[in-house]
A and B are shown apart, each in its own frame.
Chain A
Amino acid sequence: MSAAAIGGVAGIITVLEIFAITFFVALNGWYLVLLVGAAIEMRQHRLLAQGDTRMRILGSPLAPRISVLTAAFNEQATIAESLNSLFGLHYPNVEIVIVNDGSRDGTLDVLRNDFGLKRIHTIFRRVLATQRVRGLYRSAAHPDLIVIDKENGGRADAMNAALNVATGDFVCVIDADTLIEPDGLRRMLRPFLDSADVLGVGGTIRIANGSTFRDGRIVETRVPRRPIAGIQVVEYLRAFLFGRLGWNRAGGNLIVSGAFGLFRRQALIDVGGFCHDSIGEDFELVMRLRTNAYEKGGPHRIVFTPDPVAWTEAPESAAILGRQRDRWHRGLTDVVLRYRRVLFNPKYRVMGVLVFPHYAILELLAPVVEAAGMLALIAAALLGILNGPFAVLFFLAAWGFGAALTLFTLLLEQLTFRRYERLSDKLMLAVWTIAEGLGYRQMTVFWRLRGLWKFILGRTEWGVMERTGFQQQTPAQPGVQAALAGAATRSPATVAAPTVPVSRVQAGRLAG
């Protein structure tokens, strides 16, 4: 290669490096601001939430009705366990609406046999169009349980069917494989009572892998020893305890995880319910709710509250995690393009000028910039123009900053909730924090890039999710590992051909 060509490539590499460094400083600087916001928010939250009087008040007969909506597709193995955990919720006015979304296994039979379902013809208005409803059932044993049996239409369609039937003032949207802690609903409701401006509330999702459950409740919280699940624990803690909490102070959240979110029912109906053709349906829903609120007036805040906790199982294999992450990134891309009118639009106030641009620029482009930085590094090394000490220091800075942020989040967790009590678990959290930047993060960059590429190609499949079930503890044999009932396998499906597997590991994205 001629000296001129090498000079040209070196120039390009320098530009890329400057861009990558600027991007790195902007993104991480903003994360620092979010971390400070999260700490302030957490302090305020703890002051108000400590003591149980406030929680007891929410057990009043005046408490508003909450409908818990969940969709089940081939959930024969776990549906009874999940429902039993819902019956244990400490809330005085709750109904549970579960949609059997055309399951091909024995989901409906399990529900019929375990809960004594009786067919009913309740009267409801079909305000949201859905696939054909084959039947409605009410449990004789639990009159607050309604089961909708419908033809398969995907999770969004199932949720819309549930919205048609629900009678609550609020709806709590959860995944069929999510376990909610008993006082989760009461804690979720608190932000709605604190401010009339709240449209939706998201709670914390934690990773169930490694922990032990009995009768749908967690009895021992542990950190998984397997790297992929273990790193996801710190990833989730960081995403929820500083990302989303920080956004409460910086213009409100744009994501409420589909695995655990509470909304005003009428607001969901007013915007037309869940969107059938979006792969990032939870993000899309929140965007639609907030844009609609800014355009037409009314409550517009989406709040994250840290103490209502739901537990979900995380993928333990790189292949499944990769499919999940590439789907999330396709979802992000889809929503950013759909709502590009919001970008830097002052009509949408802080959402338009700060929150949405963060997702549209920093989050969406992060894998591209990171990959470009890595490629530039490799190219510079091949061309012999690599500044070795600079590259090493930059890597250490990037890795160290990420690890420091996560450690401060863990500290925040330790100062407040202290869910991981054993010293060995704290050590494992520190180990996974340090390990995250050494391979795992680079893999997520690759998966997100793959997601972008698939989006460009117009591919909308969801992929397969394999689960082993929650680790159970029986009273007679504590600690015995008994997978719920073998592995449940999600069938692949596409959004276009509405056969989306309705319960997933985690519906929302983690970033921010």
Chain B
Amino acid sequence: MNADALVRVSALILQVALGAGLALLFAHALAVIVVRRHRAPRIERGQRALYALLQPVAGARSPLADHERAGLFGHLARLSGVEQEEVLAPIAQSLTPEACEPIRSIAAEIGLLDRAMAWCRSPRWSTRLRGARLCSALCAGESAMVHLLRDRHPAVRAQAADWAARHATPDVVARLLEMIDDPDAFSRFAVQDALLRLGNDVVEPLAVFLERRDGPAIEPAISVASAIPHPRFLAAAIRHSGSDRPAVRVRAMNLLGSIGGSEVARLLVEHLEDGSPDVRAAALRALGRIGHWPRAPEMADRMRDTSWDVRRAAGLALRDLGSPGILMLRRMTSDVNSFAADMATQVLDLPPGVGGESS
């Protein structure tokens, strides 16, 4: 084929592609307009039916007559699956599991819940994800969702973890703790967030987990515990403050700092001599947070530390102690150790009340 013919063929193909592109673009725009115009009133009618069904439950009106109820359910049942999702899910996901019960009943009655459960068992991960999202919104589908916590796709596991945050059963919490070092970052993050949102329900199992386990799962578990400050974690914090891994000791210091108390202050002061500057700095931050002023002299000693991070943490922790710490810092400004004096000078220049520097 010569160059002329090649260009002719190419030009023809490209013009066809261009025409197809234009046609598709406008066909799609038209389709969107038609579908929206068709769907908008259906969804609106569905929403009105849902509100009418919910009004007696909320005590806003007297119970509905059977024929009224049947009519309203008929409206909802005639909607497509996507439309039903669009009507029910946005309201359901903003409610507590208890308050969601009437919507769950309606979803069950119109067959949406069964469909969601079936989606959760699909071989396609995207369909399972869709089912998991709907079950999460409706706070339903426990039998399917517990299995999805072990799903092979991380996005599905993450969605199941989100569901689990509103289902504090022992099995669910145990499974979440097993997943705390999930190999997928997003799933791991979702699990930690779910544990955090479970709050007090997770304290006892998490404390037991921390007391018995070692290994990579410990670091995220301590981080979660630090965000739910509870004295029940003290034994675990003490245990892990002796870990041979500095990263674990740093987190143990944070955990101790979130618990507070004289015993904790004593333990933290012991770690001011730790071989790792990160641990020393974390211990100082924790001492500053619990505001244990009798330990100010030990903290002031760390202003002479060889590590800049430790000196900075010591200065800011002293500042957090209030008057006793400020007094120590003023003395340190004339210290023979010029690094300590310099850091004290800088810390004292901080304006009070803005905070954040020590975090």
Which residues in A have some Cβ–Cβ distance to B below 8 Å? 17-18, 21, 47-48, 51, 53-54, 56-57, 60-62, 95, 118-123, 125, 138, 140, 143-144, 167, 190, 192-196, 387, 389-390, 393-394, 396-397, 400-401, 403-404, 407-408, 410-411, 414-415, 418, 423, 426, 430
- The answer, among A60, A140, A400, A418, for a CB contact under 8 Å with B15, is A400
Interface pair B350/A120, CB less than 8 Å apart: yes
Q: Are the C-beta atoms of A123 and B17 separated by less than 8 Å?
A: no
Contact residue among A53, A121, A195 (Cβ-Cβ distance under 8 Å from B133) = A53
Interface residues of B in 3-53 (CB under 8 A from A): 3-4, 7-8, 10-11, 14-15, 17-18, 20-22, 24-26, 28-29, 32-33
State how many angstroms separate the Cβ of B77 from the closest Cβ of chain A: 24
The answer, among A143, A387, A414, for a CB contact under 8 Å with B354, is A143
Q: Do the beta carbons of B196 and A122 come within 8 Å of each other? A: no
Given contacts A54-B159, A62-B227, A143-B355, 13 further A-B contacts (CB under 8 A): A47-B129, A48-B129, A60-B189, A62-B224, A125-B308, A190-B186, A192-B185, A390-B3, A390-B4, A401-B17, A404-B14, A414-B25, A426-B25
Stretch binding the partner chain, chosen from B235-243, B267-275, B341-349: B341-349
A415, B28: Cβ atoms under 8 Å?
Answer: yes
Q: Is B104 an interface residue (CB 8 A)?
A: no
Known: A61-B227, A138-B351. A396 touches B14 (CB 8 A): yes
Give chain B interface residues in 110-154, CB to chain A under 8 Å.
126, 129, 133, 136
B223 within 8 A of A: yes
Which residues B197-222 have CB closer than 8 A to chain A?
Answer: none
Instruction: Give chain B's interface secondary structure class.
Output: helix
Interface residues on B, range: 35 or more
Knowing A62-B227, A123-B357, A393-B8 touch, does A411 contact B24 (C-beta < 8 A)? yes
Inter-subunit contact B14/A57 (CB<8 Å) = no
Cβ contact within 8 Å between A62 and B343: no
Interface status of B325 (Cβ within 8 A of chain A): no
Whole-angstrom distance between the alpha carbons of A394 and B349 in the complex? Answer: 71
Q: Give Cα distance in the complex from A115 to B341, angstroms.
A: 33
Interface residues of B (CB under 8 A from A): 3-4, 7-8, 10-11, 14-15, 17-18, 20-22, 24-26, 28-29, 32-33, 93, 126, 129, 133, 136, 155, 158-159, 162, 184-186, 189-190, 192-193, 196, 223-224, 227, 308, 312, 315-316, 343, 346-347, 349-351, 354-357, 359
Q: Give min CB distance, B234 to chain A, whole Å.
A: 22
Q: What chain A residues lie within 8 Å of B4 (beta carbons)?
A: 387, 389-390
Q: Are the C-beta atoms of B357 and A426 separated by less than 8 Å? A: no
| With A123-B346, A193-B185, A387-B4: A396-B22 Cβ-Cβ less than 8 Å | no
B7 touches A121 (CB 8 A): no
Known: A62-B227, A120-B350. A21 touches B126 (CB 8 A): no
Best-buried of B33, B136, B350 by chain A (most CB within 10 Å): B350
B337 to chain A, nearest CB (A): 16
A121 to B347, CA, bound (A): 8
Cβ of B280 to closest chain A Cβ, rounded Å: 17
Q: B15–A396 contact, CB under 8 A?
A: yes
Tell me which residues across on chain A come within 8 A of B223, comparing CB atoms. Answer: 62
Asked if B18 and A400 make an inter-chain contact with CB atoms under 8 angstroms apart, the answer reads yes
- Minimum C-beta distance from A49 to chain B (A): 10
Contacts of A54 in B (CB 8 A): 158-159, 186
Q: In the assembled complex, how far is the CB of residue B7 from the closest CB belonging to chain A, in whole angstroms?
A: 5
Given known pairs A53-B136, A53-B162, the reply for A400 and B11 (CB within 8 Å) is yes
A122 touches B350 (CB 8 A): yes
A61 to B93, CA, bound (A): 20
- What residues of B have a CB within 8 angstroms of the CB of A17 in the complex? 3
Q: Which residue of A lies closest to B7 (CB)?
A: A393
The distance in angstroms between the C-alpha atoms of A294 and B227, with both chains bound, is 36
Asked if A123 contacts B312 (CB within 8 A), the reply is yes
The contact sample of 23 A-B pairs, CB cut-off 8 A, is A21-B3, A47-B155, A48-B155, A57-B158, A57-B190, A61-B227, A62-B224, A120-B351, A121-B350, A122-B350, A123-B316, A123-B346, A190-B186, A192-B185, A194-B184, A194-B185, A390-B4, A396-B11, A396-B14, A400-B18, A403-B21, A414-B25, A418-B32
Known: A61-B227, A390-B3, A393-B8. A123 touches B189 (CB 8 A): no
Q: How far is the CB of A391 from chain B (nearest CB, A)?
A: 9
Nearest-Cβ distance from residue A301 to partner chain B, whole angstroms: 13
For residue B125, which residue of chain A has the nearest CB? A47
On chain B, the residues within 8 Å of A61 by CB distance are 196, 227
Asked if B11 and A407 make an inter-chain contact with CB atoms under 8 angstroms apart, the answer reads no
With contact pairs A120-B354, A393-B7, A397-B11 given, residues A423 and B29 touching in the complex (Cβ less than 8 Å): yes
Nearest Cβ on chain A to B119's Cβ, whole angstroms: 13
